[in-house]
């Protein structure tokens, strides 16, 4: 059976690893406003429903620019990737990045996957999502005054899986990624050389009750081995009674932080809305992801 057919079956039927929910961690999303071509929009504060042509397809994304944005000063960008099935609007409503963007002054972008999913190594689809994310970042750097040294990528489940793929394949684009209930897993290319060619720091969250916790843990161990990362000693203090934290510094200067959350399943810790919310996880992933991103601009 071909790889393409296997991916199609995974996306449409049984839930593959790295997913959750029905069938892969998402929920039916509310309808979004009609999008506008990014080229036709004048950068301004507010919520924008936009499209970017890539590979002959008008790819949709939602963009939030904070009230203080004026397009004259370089600003950070956080791109947030939804689970499968899902879309950017439902992702924005779950993770609360817009409110944080207002306080911290960054842009938040929420792409829609093709047919509700992103092309990671576990699933879902065959779109050139790494190429799309690269083009999206470039467009926002060019047109919206994004600081190219402060472009970040986060995601949950299928979106978290793609974050790792993009960290490797979109060389020089992302300074750091934040993978929540997702991992460096699936049918990875053979060989130890499949690793970032420039430093990309990683923060990740794994629930010990997630059915894929073992795979995520093995994936981050694989990542650290490929990048020759060394555990930081002494171990950091537990952020909460049920939360363990490990830190490692890699040979290329990147950092890896792993939060292991007792009692949590396939969820976004600290989120209060949506089917994948875990409000009682003990930590708020959105705040921790941004804090990590803010401390990790792109390394040359």
* Tens-place pLDDT, residues 164-182: 999 999 999 999 999 999 9
pLDDT tens per residue across span 6-21: 333 333 233 444 444 3
CA distance 297 to 290: 12
Instruction: Answer yes or no: is 67 within a domain.
Output: yes
Q: What is the pLDDT of residue 10?
A: 34
Q: What is the DSSP annotation of 151-197?
A: EEEEEETHHHHHHHHHHHHSTTT-SEEEEES--S-SSPPSSTT-S-S
Instruction: Answer yes or no: is 11 within a domain.
Output: yes
Q: What is the pLDDT of residue 84?
A: 97
Per-residue tokens: 257: 């932080």
Q: What is the pLDDT of residue 42?
A: 85
- 30 HSE (CA, 13 A, CB side): 9
Instruction: Answer yes or no: is 46 within a domain.
Output: yes
Instruction: Answer yes or no: is 299 within a domain.
Output: no
**Total number of domains in the chain:** 1
Q: In 3D, which of 30, 26, 22, 25 has the Cα closest to residue 86?
A: 26
Instruction: Answer yes or no: is 124 within a domain.
Output: yes
What residues make up the domain containing 264?
Answer: 3-294
pTM of the predicted structure, to 2 decimals = 0.89
Tokens 């934040």 locate to 178
Three-state DSSP at 250 gives coil
Instruction: Answer yes or no: is 300 within a domain.
Output: no
CATH of the domain at 274: 3.40.50.1820
Three-state DSSP at 80 gives strand
- The contacts of residue 275 (CB under 8 Å, 6+ apart) are 21, 22, 25, 26, 27
Instruction: Answer yes or no: is 266 within a domain.
Output: yes
Q: What are phi and psi of 288, to 5 degrees?
A: -70, -40
Low-confidence ranges of the chain (pLDDT < 50): 1-32
Instruction: Answer yes or no: is 118 within a domain.
Output: yes
């Amino acid at each position: 059976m071909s790889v393409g057919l296997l991916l199609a079956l995974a996306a449409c039927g049984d839930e593959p690893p790295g997913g959750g929910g029905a069938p892969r961690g998402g929920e039916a999303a509310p309808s979004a406003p009609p999008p506008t071509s990014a080229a036709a929009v004048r950068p301004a504060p507010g919520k924008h429903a936009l499209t970017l042509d890539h590979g002959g397809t008008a790819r949709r994304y939602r963009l939030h620019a904070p009230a203080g944005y004026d397009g004259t000063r370089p600003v950070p960008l956080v791109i947030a990737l939804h689970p499968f099935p899902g879309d950017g609007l439902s992702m924005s409503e779950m993770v609360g990045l817009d409110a944080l963007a207002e306080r911290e002054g960054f842009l938040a972008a929420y792409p829609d996957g093709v047919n509700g999913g992103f092309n990671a190594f576990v699933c879902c689809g065959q779109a050139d999502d790494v190429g799309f994310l690269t083009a999206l970042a470039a467009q926002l750097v060019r047109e919206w005054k994004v600081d190219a040294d402060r472009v970040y990528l986060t995601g949950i489940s299928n979106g978290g899986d793609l974050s790792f793929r993009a960290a490797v394949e979109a060389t020089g684009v992302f300074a750091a990624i934040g993978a929540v209930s997702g991992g460096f897993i699936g049918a990875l290319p053979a060989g130890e050389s499949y690793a970032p060619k420039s430093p990309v720091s990683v923060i990740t969250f794994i629930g010990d009750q997630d059915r894929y916790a073992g795979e995520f843990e093995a994936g981050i161990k694989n990542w650290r081995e490929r990048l020759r990362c060394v555990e930081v000693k002494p171990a950091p203090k537990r952020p909460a009674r049920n939360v363990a934290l490990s830190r490692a510094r890699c040979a290329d200067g990147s950092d890896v932080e792993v939060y292991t959350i007792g009692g949590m399943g396939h969820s976004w810790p600290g989120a209060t809305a949506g089917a994948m919310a875990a409000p009682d996880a003990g930590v708020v992933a959105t705040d921790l992801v941004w804090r990590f991103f803010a401390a990790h601009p792109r390394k040359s």
